[in-house]
Amino acid sequence: MSEAVLTDVADGVAVITINRPEARNAVNGAVARGIAAAVEDFDSRSDISVLILTGAGANFSSGMDLKGFLSGDAPIAEGRGFGGIVERPPAKPVIAAVEGYALAGGFELVLACDLIVASEEAKFGLPEVRRGLVAGAGGLLRLPSRVPYHLAMEIALTGEHFSAARLAAAGLVSKLVPAGEALPAAKEFAARVALGAPLALAASKRVIVESGDWSADEAFAKQGAVISPIFGSKDAMEGAMAFAEKRPPVWKGE
């Protein structure tokens, strides 16, 4: 895996770190491929329940590496799109741990995550329009379902920076923490999520993500197709036995 992306695994939680602090963690081809490779690996592992995406140093990510863009270094991974995640996010829950700037494609990486822990000093924005570009890595598609319509328009059309506090008030940021505490707080958050069974977590995420366009007539049938295998899993049996025996469950991801 490229040094542009670092990974660490402990207690069922995998941390993926964009490691280009000298470039404010701008996303180039190496970052996109590194994130994609990490996601492919971690999604396939039964010992991992939750992922965290963060940036090294003082910033999450300033977005696409414009120097790389000009030289033809595409910041995409085949089948997963920009940053190796925006078009096909992990099947498992993923938490963004945000310090400093999460701008342009960096903000779009955040929007591809399921939960967001942000420093009180973090700044978000989609400045593409001020560069003659368009936020095509999911920002325009995801924002309207995450924040009120007019706020989504303000973010997209002004290209300005928005504080973590304002986005938390709008419901986008899950948890605000002091500067420097985003990753530790995200790990604590992930530990809470990881108390759930891996298969059940992935299925729950899938239903929430996919059900937005299900009709009322088909919703329960489609949900059933996703969740029925979970009820027959070894982890479901373990959950019931652990409850009856008054002990913590030991999940196998099976």
For residues 171-183, give the mean pLDDT. Answer: 97
Contact 103, 124 (CB under 8 A): yes
Q: What gap in Å lies between CA 51 and CA 190, rounded to an integer?
A: 8
Tell me the pLDDT band of 67, cut-offs 50, 70 and 90: confident
Domain boundaries, the chain: 5-193, 198-244
Tell me the pLDDT band of 71, cut-offs 50, 70 and 90: confident
CATH topology classification for 5-193: 2-enoyl-CoA Hydratase; Chain A, domain 1 (3.90.226)
Q: What gap in Å lies between CA 21 and CA 18, rounded to an integer?
A: 8
What's the pLDDT score for residue 48?
A: 93
pTM of the model: 0.93
Q: What gap in Å lies between CA 229 and CA 167, rounded to an integer?
A: 37
What's the pLDDT score for residue 56?
A: 97
For residues 145-163, give the mean pLDDT. Answer: 96
Tell me the pLDDT band of 2, cut-offs 50, 70 and 90: low
Evaluate if residue 122 carries a pLDDT over 90.
yes
Smallest CA-to-CA distance from 107 within 83, 124, 91 is with 124
**Of all residues in the chain, what percent carry a pLDDT higher than 90?**
92
DSSP codes, 40-83: HHHHT-TT--EEEEEESTT-SB--B-HHHHHHT---EETTTEET
What DSSP character marks residue 84? T
Evaluate if residue 1 carries a pLDDT over 60.
no
Q: Which range is least confidently modeled, 37-46, 64-73, 242-251? A: 64-73
What's the pLDDT score for residue 205?
A: 95
Evaluate if residue 72 carries a pLDDT over 90.
no
Q: Which of 99, 108, 121, 181 is catalytic?
A: 108
Q: Is 3 a catalytic residue?
A: no
For residues 141-165, give the mean pLDDT. Answer: 96
What's the pLDDT score for residue 70?
A: 81
Q: Is 218 a catalytic residue?
A: no
Find the helix or strand (DSSP H, E) in which 116 lies.
Answer: strand 115-119
Q: Which of 128, 238, 245, 254 is catalytic?
A: 128
Tell me the pLDDT band of 143, cut-offs 50, 70 and 90: very high
- How confident is the model over 96-108, as pLDDT tens digits? 999 999 999 999 9
Evaluate if residue 173 carries a pLDDT over 60.
yes
- How confident is the model over 191-207, as pLDDT tens digits? 999 999 999 999 999 99
Average pLDDT, the chain: 95
